[in-house]
Homo-oligomer: A and B are copies of this chain.
Amino acid sequence: MKLKAKYIDMDTGEITALLRTDDCMEIGVHEGDRVKVKHEGSTVTAIVQTTESVLQEGEIGLLGKAFSFIGPEAGELLDVMPTGKPESVDYIRKKMDGLELSTDEIRTLVTDISARTLSSVELAAYVTSLQINGMNIRETADLTLSMVETGETIDFDRSPVFDFHSVGGVPGNKVTLIVVPIVAAAGLLIPKTSSRAISSAAGTADIVEVFAKVDFSGKELKSIAESIGGIMAWGGGLNLAPADDVIIRVEHPLGIDPHAQLLASVMSKKKAVGADFLLVDIPMGEGTKVPTMEIAKAFAKDFVDLGDKLGIKVECAITYGGQPVGRAIGPALEAREAIAVLEGATSPHSVVEKALMLAGIILEMGGIPRGYERAKEILDSGQALAKFREIVGAQGGNPNIKSSDIQPGKYTMSVLSKKSGYIGNIKNKDLVRIARAAGAPKDKGAGVVIIEKVGGTVEIGDPLFIIYADNENKLNDALGVARKFEPISVSGMVLVRTPGFTHLQS
């Protein structure tokens, strides 16, 4: 049927056409169906939304992209006709029915996802089906490769390429800032891309951005990494596996991260930069994504198996994630803590040890014997700090950077212990809540510094943690969250008393 074009000043991820219900009946479509809209030579396929209020009789509303794609004048007559769903919807149905998808079906699905051909309803059905029915390793490998194919890739002239990824879920995990310079200083190529925080207090990209640029083109990334051996870039600006960004827009509101999609999301970005060797850090423990050793081992096996299918040699390190890594949470605070370790600080012990252990594994994957010891030599000798500064300089930061240059939030408040005793428990998620309420990751200076970790002792009135914020309102918000959740619990001195003697936790 013929309808008059009306421009709707609104745009979203979908290509949308607004129609009146009576016109939908006339055309024979319902909400969520698709119409082809023609204007002169160009045609756009749009997903139908019905409205009772916005349109006059005889009008079709076209949102931003749909309108500009076919380029009519307002009021011009357009040809509107019903059209079918993309085949991908059949494949989503197939996964809903618990069936295995073929290589071609997965490729079609991922192509439609990247091209933003699917509606958010269809995408939500996809991630929900994947969450419930899963994918086997063959399907997951096809998913990964299709995600790589539909995005940019980077080809390094040097090989092999080493890479590192942390599954995340543990706050304060700033070790990438130490691992990358150690590995690069050992002569291996490690072009590390990282993400920004979605629900955490700081992604590695957020931390690095405190003191350097992280948004590079593929060409810039290649040039920096090849000349220096390492880079710490934001992956989001590189259009690697862009299907992932589309999928995250529906995963996030549902609070899910289907296993196969998580594996494909990580591995597609590594495959896209041509990684030959990959170390995956799997933080395990209460309040992380991986609560038990059994789940962690299954996870590790899937990464290794998927790597085999993709031609990437994967090793996994299951690490302790039951409390934050180090003491600092939030972009600037984490940057300061990591740089201090590069400068020679021997604490926090958990940061130093985790970074050396992980770097050591990568060195051994690269054929360097006694990886941990070699990593420690590189750190202790200042070679890691020198390489770090070289990377920072190449990324547009100050090549003489010192930890004391980093300024955390000006507004601070200490939260004090209400009793004397041992730190019994630190709740990762509640600390993240506080840091986010204080403004992290957007406000770089916002976050939390923990004074004593699990097993440490405090007296009544001692500070448990300090909240940092870039403005006073957010500091107060964060304090409110801290009072509500009490993320650090202090147990009385006597933890267990059995007849005859008193046992104190070591």
Contacts and interface: CB of A to CB of B under 8 A. Distances in A.
Contact of A252 (B31, B49, B127): B31
A33 B93 contact: no
A154 interface: no
Given A253-B121, A442-B28, A98 B132 contact: yes
A216 B150 CA distance: 53
28 contacts: A8-B8, A8-B9, A8-B10, A9-B9, A11-B53, A12-B49, A12-B51, A13-B31, A25-B442, A28-B436, A30-B249, A30-B252, A30-B253, A31-B253, A32-B252, A32-B254, A33-B252, A93-B256, A96-B131, A96-B132, A96-B256, A122-B124, A124-B125, A124-B128, A125-B125, A125-B127, A128-B129, A132-B132
Nearest to A133: B132
Contact of A249 (B32, B96, B198): B32
Given A53-B11, A132-B96, A122 B198 contact: no
A125 B254 contact: yes
A54 B89 contact: no
Interface in A433-457: 436, 441-442
B121 A254 contact: yes
Interface string A1-42: 000000011111100001000000110101111000000000
A25 to B, nearest CB: 5
B250 A32 contact: yes
A157 interface: no
A93 B253 contact: no
Contacts of A124: 120-122, 124-125, 128
Contacts of A249: 30-32
Q: Which 10 pairs, one residue from A and one from B, show the smallest C-beta to C-beta distance?
A: A32-B253, A124-B124, A128-B128, A121-B124, A125-B128, A25-B442, A10-B10, A132-B132, A31-B249, A124-B125
Contacts of A230: none
A52 interface: yes
A505 to B, nearest CB: 34
Nearest to A254: B125
A10 B121 contact: no
Interface string A104-131: 0000000000000001111111011101
A254 B53 contact: no
A64 interface: yes
Given A25-B442, A96-B256, A442-B28, A54 B64 contact: yes
Given A11-B51, A28-B442, A96-B128, A253 B18 contact: no
Nearest to A25: B442
A34 to B, nearest CB: 9
A89 B127 CA distance: 15
